[in-house]
């Protein structure tokens, strides 16, 4: 079984310091959390950014500051900006970070109810536009899917030539409005993609570590971090993203999976060479 790629989603757009005081907002806090995750074994930093008051933003300049700060403390890590942004942002707002030419960026492949009146909108034409603009810049999309129908959308657009292969999926499990985070559901998602694809599982809330363990056993990769879950165990807040990564590393070692370095992750994901 190939080595395990660990992604750390260090802050997200919705979780706040009220949920856990260690959630990073400032550039310095984001660099601190990225380093804690990298030191613990993460190869990829999945990145949202905030203004200092915690307001989510897709501002290109703010992303550039955070890229530079992260690279200063962990220069080998893969930085994967989100193009999801936050609910209500326009497509042009959401696409700003790809102008910084990251190696990877997320590509959400469907619309999802996020609870109450919040709808995370990704129309078919938006997905095609996002994929095209990433392809023009040599950026590998991580195909984020919250349900089986989003896999089908990605496969259909791949067949039409809009999404290049080999494809890498991120199965986000247990989000409100999406598929739940049971092992049955993860197996269903895994069995729904072609064999030449790679995939990561991201369990939300209480599903984080059960989905991590299942993905490790199934040969997939794992995402953990404050965006998805702020607890190390029930009722015990994690002191850093690094603690969440460390726990995942312990599970992986018990189950016989070695951890991929950033360079090994680049080879597994077949990323373009860095300039």
Which tens digit of pLDDT belongs to each residue from 3-25? Answer: 999 999 999 999 999 999 999 99
Mean model confidence pLDDT for the chain: 96
- 41 and 246 Cβ atoms separated by less than 8 Å: yes
Rounded Cα distance, 31 and 23, in Å: 12
Which pLDDT does position 116 carry in this prediction? 86
Strands of the chain (E only): list them: 6-9, 44-47, 49-50, 56-57, 78-81, 104-108, 112-115, 118-120, 140-145, 168-173, 198-203, 221-224, 231-233, 236-237
DSSP string, 83-133: S--STT--HHHHTGGGGG--SEEEEE-S-EEEETTEEE---HHHHHHHHHH
Q: For the structural domain made of 6-269, what CATH number should be given?
A: 3.20.20.70
- 226 and 191 Cβ atoms separated by less than 8 Å: no
* Token representation of residue 156: 């259909």
Q: What percent of the chain clears pLDDT 70, i.e. is strictly above it?
A: 99
pLDDT tens-digit series, residues 73-126: 999 999 999 999 888 889 999 999 999 999 999 999 999 998 888 889 999 999
* Arithmetic mean of pLDDT, 145-152: 98
SS3 content of the chain, % helix, strand, coil (to 5): 40, 20, 40
| DSSP-derived secondary structure letter, 4 | B
* Arithmetic mean of pLDDT, 65-75: 98
* Arithmetic mean of pLDDT, 147-159: 98
- The region that residue 6 occupies, defined by phi over 0 for left and psi between -120 and 50 for alpha, beta otherwise, is beta
Rounded Cα distance, 173 and 203, in Å: 5
The upper half-sphere exposure of residue 181, i.e. CA atoms within 13 Å in the direction of its Cβ, equals 21
For residue 118, the tally of other CB atoms under 10 A from its CB is: 14
């Amino acid at each position: 079984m190939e080595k395990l790629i660990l992604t750390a989603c260090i802050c997200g757009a919705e979780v706040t310091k009220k949920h856990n005081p260690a959630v990073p907002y400032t550039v310095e806090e984001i660099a601190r959390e990225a380093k804690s995750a990298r030191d613990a074994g993460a190869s990829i930093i999945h990145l949202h950014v905030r203004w200092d008051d915690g307001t989510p933003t897709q501002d290109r300049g703010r992303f550039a500051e955070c890229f530079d700060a992260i690279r200063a403390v962990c220069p080998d890590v893969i930085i994967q900006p989100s193009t999801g942004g936050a609910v209500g942002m326009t497509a042009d707002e959401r696409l700003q970070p790809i102008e910084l030419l990251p190696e990877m960026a997320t590509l959400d492949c469907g619309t999802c109810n996020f609870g109450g009146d919040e709808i995370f909108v990704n129309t078919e034409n938006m997905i095609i536009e996002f994929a095209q603009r990433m392809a023009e810049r040599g950026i590998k999309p991580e195909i984020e899917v919250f349900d089986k129908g989003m896999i089908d959308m990605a496969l259909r657009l791949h067949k039409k030539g809009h999404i290049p292969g080999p494809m890498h999926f991120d199965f986000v499990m247990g989000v409100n409005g999406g598929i739940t985070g049971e092992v049955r559901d993860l197996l269903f998602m895994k069995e729904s993609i072609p064999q030449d694809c790679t995939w990561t599982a991201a369990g939300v809330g209480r599903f984080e570590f059960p989905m991590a363990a299942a993905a490790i056993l199934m040969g997939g990769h794992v995402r953990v971090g404050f965006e998805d879950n702020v607890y190390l165990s029930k009722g015990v807040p994690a002191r850093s993203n690094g603690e969440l990564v460390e726990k995942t590393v312990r599970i992986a070692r018990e189950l016989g999976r070695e951890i991929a370095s950033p360079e090994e992750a680049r080879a597994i994901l077949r990323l373009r060479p860095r300039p």
